């Protein structure tokens, strides 16, 4: 009887301890949800992609577009799902890109996109109800004070009042050199400078600098879209095959590396590369078909676009002080950006410029 009473008492004691512990955990959880927090986020809005980082990692990479219902102009879906419908969106709907050439193209459309983007962020991250976002917008050096005002105005409309800006050229130098804590006063010589060619979807940016100090910047009228559109046009004109923009990008990224190709290369000089099966709409019959297309022909079309980039690079170098350029080019050119993923591009530029060109080892 005494043993049973003791066991019962111990059981009640354990239950009481469990309840107290459970209440304590609940209180801590509630307290954490009610404690104000500040999250500093870095926003980089590109023509094709938007990236969001915190101070440690990339949180989101998403296509900078959304699908809207044309009559009501309401957002239906955004990001990857919307981009996959580019060129084949349902009747009465269209895919909208609120950023063009690295600047806000339409303020209302950008607000729609940003609002949806922040809702997605809050659903993914374990933030409490009182989490306050501090935004840092990474913007192109070509952005004007008006562009900054438009970004500020839109962020304020979606509830973010603490907004700062950072030049993309400085951000590129910081990321690629990996010396975010390095003080420019520690840089003793010009030899520490590097040249970065960031190839975006619509424009490219050439940056010369030493760690976090930008000494030269120039925007180039060349982007990955130029190559993507050339693939779509080639398939349409020569094979009566209509493919989506997304398909053309995938074809571009699937092309094999061609060694020692130059601007004077022709299809006859290319090695036998075989063919690729491409699925699209046959323009003569209106049916979905799969056609076998020779890789050599696609590669020649792609490489016909590169002399334009090469010419602009050479023209830009002529605007840089000779001594500064000499020191910078000793380290070669570092490629970054989605447009730089074209197979063989680094070799092409290296052969034509007679300097070392490499792809950045850092993915961001």
Return the DSSP state at 104. E
Average pLDDT over residues 74-94: 90
**CATH code, domain with 129:** 3.30.420.40
Query: Worst-scoring range by mean pLDDT, 21-35, 53-67, 104-118, 320-334?
Result: 21-35
So what's the pLDDT on residue 15?
58
Helix (H) or strand (E) holding 75: strand 74-78
Same domain, 155 and 172: no
Cβ burial, residue 23 (10 Å; 0-12/13-18/19+):
exposed
The answer to whether position 273 is within a domain reads yes
The answer to whether position 6 is within a domain reads no
Same domain, 127 and 227: no
So what's the pLDDT on residue 8?
52
Count of domains observed in the chain: 2
Rounded Cα distance between 229 and 102, Å, is: 19
Same domain, 219 and 82: no
Rounded Cα distance between 284 and 125, Å, is: 49
Residue 322: pLDDT band (50, 70, 90) is: confident
pLDDT tens, residue by residue, 253-279:
888 865 545 444 444 455 567 888 999
Residue 278: both structure tokens together: 């491409």
Same domain, 215 and 293: yes
The answer to whether position 3 is within a domain reads no
The answer to whether position 18 is within a domain reads no
Same domain, 105 and 131: yes
pLDDT tens, residue by residue, 110-122:
999 999 999 888 8
So what's the pLDDT on residue 21?
56
So what's the pLDDT on residue 228?
95
pLDDT at residue 109 greater than cutoff 70: yes
So what's the pLDDT on residue 4?
60
pLDDT at residue 127 greater than cutoff 90: no
Name residues whose C-beta falls within 8 Å of residue 140's C-beta, 6 or more positions apart in sequence.
102, 103, 168, 203, 205, 219
Q: What percent of the chain has pLDDT over 70?
A: 79
Residue 167: both structure tokens together: 């030049």
The answer to whether position 301 is within a domain reads yes
The answer to whether position 11 is within a domain reads no
Helix 245-254, helix 224-239: angle, nearest 10: 100
Mean pLDDT (the chain) is: 83
pLDDT tens, residue by residue, 130-189:
778 899 999 999 999 999 999 999 999 999 999 999 999 999 988 887 644 333 333 444
So what's the pLDDT on residue 12?
58
Same domain, 225 and 363: yes
Q: What percent of the chain has pLDDT over 90?
A: 55
Helices and strands (H, E) in the chain, number of each type = 11, 18
Instruction: Tell me the residue range of the domain where 57 lies.
Output: 37-160
Phi, then psi, of 70 in degrees rounded to 5? -60, -40
So what's the pLDDT on residue 17?
55
The answer to whether position 333 is within a domain reads yes
Same domain, 173 and 152: no
Same domain, 232 and 106: no
What DSSP line would sit under 115-147, residue for residue?
A: HHHHHHHHHHS---TTEEEEEEEEE-TT--HHH
pLDDT at residue 190 greater than cutoff 50: no
So what's the pLDDT on residue 179?
47
Question: 92-104: buried (b, 16+ CB within 10 Å) or exposed (e) per residue?
Answer: ebebbbbbebbbb
Same domain, 285 and 142: no
The answer to whether position 286 is within a domain reads yes
Same domain, 152 and 175: no
Same domain, 270 and 332: yes
Same domain, 66 and 113: yes
Rounded Cα distance between 298 and 287, Å, is: 23
């Amino acid at each position: 009887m005494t043993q049973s009473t003791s066991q019962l008492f111990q059981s009640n004691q354990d239950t009481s301890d469990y309840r107290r512990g459970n209440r304590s955990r609940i209180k801590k959880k509630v307290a954490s949800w009610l404690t104000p927090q500040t999250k500093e986020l870095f926003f980089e809005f590109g023509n094709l992609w938007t990236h969001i980082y915190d101070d440690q990692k990339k949180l989101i990479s998403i296509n900078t577009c959304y699908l809207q219902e044309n009559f009501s102009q309401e957002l239906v879906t955004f990001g990857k799902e919307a981009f996959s419908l580019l060129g084949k969106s349902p009747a009465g709907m269209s895919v909208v890109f609120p950023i063009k050439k690295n600047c806000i193209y339409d303020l209302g459309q950008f607000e729609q996109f940003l609002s949806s983007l922040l809702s997605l962020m809050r659903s993914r991250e374990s933030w409490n109800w009182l989490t306050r976002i501090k935004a840092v917008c990474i913007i192109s050096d070509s952005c004007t004070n008006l562009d900054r005002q438009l970004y500020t105005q839109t962020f304020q409309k979606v509830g973010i009042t603490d907004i700062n800006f950072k030049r993309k050229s400085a951000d590129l130098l910081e990321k690629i050199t990996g010396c975010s804590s390095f003080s420019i006063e520690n840089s003793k010589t010009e030899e520490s400078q590097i040249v970065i060619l960031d190839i975006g979807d619509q424009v490219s940016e050439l940056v010369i600098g030493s760690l976090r100090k930008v000494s030269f910047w120039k925007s180039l009228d060349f982007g990955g879209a130029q190559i993507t559109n050339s693939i779509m046009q080639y398939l349409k004109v020569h094979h009566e095959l209509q493919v989506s923009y997304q398909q053309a990008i995938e074809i571009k990224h699937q092309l094999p590396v061609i060694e020692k190709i130059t601007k004077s290369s022709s299809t006859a000089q290319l090695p036998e590369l075989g063919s690729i099966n491409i699925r699209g709409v046959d323009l003569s019959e209106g049916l979905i078909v799969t056609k076998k297309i020779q890789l050599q022909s696609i590669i020649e079309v792609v490489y016909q676009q590169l002399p334009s980039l090469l010419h602009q690079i050479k023209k830009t170098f002529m605007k840089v002080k000779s001594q500064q350029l000499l020191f910078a080019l000793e380290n070669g050119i570092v490629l970054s950006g989605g447009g730089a993923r074209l197979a063989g591009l680094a070799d092409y530029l290296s052969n034509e410029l007679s300097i070392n060109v490499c792809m950045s080892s850092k993915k961001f």
